[in-house]
A and B are shown apart, each in its own frame.
Chain A
Amino acid sequence: MALPQLIQLALALLPTVTTGIKEFIAWIDSLKGAAQQSGEWTADQEAAYRAALFAKTNDPAYAPDPA
């Protein structure tokens, strides 16, 4: 699914959202930022992205259910 399609989907959903409004808006904002990207990331942006990915290993939301 292309980003513009995702944004359209999110906008269409917005009036009906009943759960997780704050997270939903943050999600739309990130999609908007991605769609508006016009150039390649700088080295700092690249490093920040990778650091954020590795930080998710400590995020409880990314941990599977206990067996």
Chain B
Amino acid sequence: MLRKLTLIPLLLVIGCASLTPGSDPLVVRAEQIQTGANATFDFVLHLDDNNRGLWRTNAPAFHNFCEWLRTPMQYKASQTVSRCVLMQLDVDDLKTDYKMNKSAANSNVLYTAIGTLSYALGQSASWSNIVVTPTH
């Protein structure tokens, strides 16, 4: 409890920073989502991994969502990564393409990939809401 109370003042100072001159808002937005997604996927997957048997039995929908995030996928036909990592790599690759050629087509594709990653991030955050709070 004390640890929680000492953190509250720190957490209250959270605010969004303004962009530095020369930064592309779409690139910064992509990187913010990448950081948030990386942390959120890590959080839910480690939470599930700490006691898979418990979650599989008591919260199967949460465990199934984690398994969906873990589904092995092919990255560039040479490497197998989990689905959540592939989504992040896709955004990162599209962001690199966009930085090299800032065309409308590249920005649209990147925007769509950010939306997909953001959706999975939102779902993970919603699950974290359910599994870290008491249900009684």
What residues of chain B lie closer than 8 Å to A11, measured between beta carbons? Answer: 11, 14
Is B27 close to A, CB under 8 A? yes
What residues of chain B lie closer than 8 Å to A54, measured between beta carbons? Answer: 79, 81, 85
**Is A36 a contact of B17 with CB atoms below 8 Å?**
yes
Given A13-B132, A35-B16, A40-B31, also A30-B125 (CB < 8 A): no
Contacts between chains A and B (CB distance < 8 A), count: 154
* Majority-rule SS of B interface residues: helix
Query: What number of B residues sit within 8 Å (CB to CB) of A?
Result: 59
Chain B minimum-CB-distance residue to A2: B118
Select which of A9, A13, A20, A34 is within 8 A of B39 by beta carbon: A34
Q: Which positions in B face A, CB cutoff 8 Å?
A: 3-4, 7-8, 11, 14-20, 22-24, 27-28, 31-36, 38-40, 42-43, 45-50, 52, 56, 67, 70-72, 79-82, 84-85, 88-89, 92, 118, 121-122, 125, 128-129, 131-134
6 A-B pairs with the lowest CB-CB distances in the bound complex, closest first: A30-B39, A1-B122, A61-B49, A34-B35, A38-B17, A27-B43
Q: Which positions in A face B, CB cutoff 8 Å?
A: 1, 3-4, 6-7, 9-11, 13-21, 23-28, 30-41, 46, 49-50, 52-54, 56-57, 60-65
